[in-house]
Amino acid sequence: AKPDPIIVADHVTRSFGGIRAVDVSHIEFQRGCITGLIGPNGAGKTTLFNLLTGFDRADSGSWSVDGVTVSRMPAYRMARSGVVRTFQLTKALSKLTVLDNVRLGATGQSGERMLGALMPWMWRKQEAEITERAHAMLERFKLETKANDFAGSLSGGQRKLLEMARALMVDPKVIMLDEPMAGVNPALTQSLLGHIKSLGDEGMTVVFVEHDMDVIRDVSDWVVVMAQGAVIAEGPASELSSNSAVVDAYLGSH
Ligand code: ATP
């Protein structure tokens, strides 16, 4: 298929002290594709997610969504531009209900940033359509029976589902999932995989970080490999194990 990138990023760098966590000269994510992002611990995958979704500021670089430059926008503006994410360590507000966590997703904020969005949001008249959409999301992720429970009472896997439900509230074009399967019990793993595939089937652009190569091969259309902050290889998932750079950088280390 002809390339049709929805996100294009160039020369993105981010250092912490002396460590260059991200040093990506070029990366793009194709519209409607499920891209698996892999690489050893410390390769910079999470930092790249943080930069592209406005949760951290790049030292340099530029990127665009659908041709519109969005570099260095804060997270809620990235969400409005159609790019949302979930976290490796889920960030639901544990003392709010499951339903309210999802409703707050409509602000485009996530994690502790939702707290800042909370008061103005509560003072606005509670919009029926937000509540309705939140319930639809809870149905989709089979969390409806938990709607009025504190988010803190959910299992690890249920929190991953809650994060996806929350992220989808803004009707995004791109969802970036940071290790959606980590810390999830086997019973929910299949369900999570199913949800990721469904998003792809619906035409959503999905980027996800994952360490399990079987999962990567099962779910991804395309795989991007990072090591030491840079993209070192990419290609169709089926060609992964025949790529010597991948084997050296990643598979060999496991
Ligand atoms: P993992 O698979 O373990 O999640 P990763 O590929 O997501 O790893 P990052 O978490 O992005 O890698 O880390 C890249 C590098 O940047 C690492 O050396 C890490 O220690 C460093 N780093 C990331 N965030 C910070 C921070 N806030 N302060 C200091 N160093 C950081």
* ipTM of the complex as predicted: 0.95
pTM reported for the whole predicted model: 0.91
Question: Tokens 């988010």 map to which residue?
Answer: 151
Assess whether pLDDT exceeds 80 at residue 124.
no
> Which tokens is 137 given?
């999301």
pLDDT of residue 238: 82
**Which DSSP string corresponds to 109-157?**
--TTHHHHHHHHHHHSPPPHHHHHHHHHHHHHTT-GGGTTSBGGGS-HH
How many CA within 13 A on the CB side of residue 71?
13
Indicate the average pLDDT of the chain: 89
pLDDT score of 24 more than 80: yes
Task: Return the residue matching tokens 């804060």.
Answer: 74
* β-strands 222-227, 230-236 pairing: antiparallel
Residues in the chain: 254
Q: What is the pLDDT of residue 114?
A: 76
- The yes-or-no verdict on residue 66 having pLDDT over 90 is yes
Residue type, 56: D
Instruction: Tell me if 47 CB under 6 Å of ligand 1.
Output: yes
Residue nearest to atom 16 of ligand 1 (CA): 21
What secondary structure, in 3-state letters, does 26-89 show? EEEEECCCEEEEECCCCCCHHHHHHHHCCCCCCCEEEEEECCEECCCCCHHHHHHCCEEEECCC
Q: Where are the beta strands (DSSP E) in 135-211?
A: 174-178, 205-209
pLDDT digits (tens, 9 = 90+) for 95-116: 999 999 999 998 888 877 777 7
Angle between helices 128-140 and 156-167 (to 10 degrees): 140
Q: Report the pLDDT value the prediction gives residue 208, as an integer from 0 to 100.
A: 97
What confidence tens digit (pLDDT) does each residue in 156-174 have? Answer: 999 999 999 999 999 999 9
- Give tens-digit pLDDT for 173-211: 999 999 999 888 888 889 999 999 999 999 999 999 998
Residue 40 CA: nearest ligand 1 atom is 2
Instruction: With CA atoms as reference, report the closest residue to 51 among 239, 236, 226.
Output: 226
The residue contributing the CA closest to ligand 1 atom 19 is 42
State if residue 210 touches ligand 1 by the CB under 6 angstroms criterion.
Answer: no
Give how far Cα 225 sits from Cα of 27, 34, 108, 209, 250, Å: 11, 14, 29, 10, 8
List, for residues 200-247, the tens digit of each pLDDT value: 999 999 999 998 888 898 999 999 999 999 999 999 988 876 666 666
Q: Is 38 touching ligand 1 by the criterion CB < 6 Å? A: no
Asked whether residue 3 carries a pLDDT value surpassing 90, the answer given is: no
Cα 219 to Cα 194: distance, rounded to the nearest angstrom: 9
End-to-end CA distance of the chain: 33
What does the pLDDT read at residue 251? 57
* 3-state class (DSSP) for residue 40: coil
Which atom of ligand 1 has the smallest separation from the CA of 179? Answer: 4
Both structure tokens of 166: 């929350």
* pLDDT of residue 254 exceeding 50: no
| pLDDT tens, residue by residue, 136-158 | 999 999 999 999 999 999 999 99
**Pairwise CA distance, residues 231 & 105, whole Å:** 31
* C-beta of 52 in contact with ligand 1 (< 6 A): no
Surface-to-core class of residue 72, CB atoms within 10 Å of its CB (0-12 exposed, 13-18 middle, 19+ buried): middle
Please indicate whether residue 13, judged by its CB atom, sits closer than 6 Å to ligand 1.
Answer: no
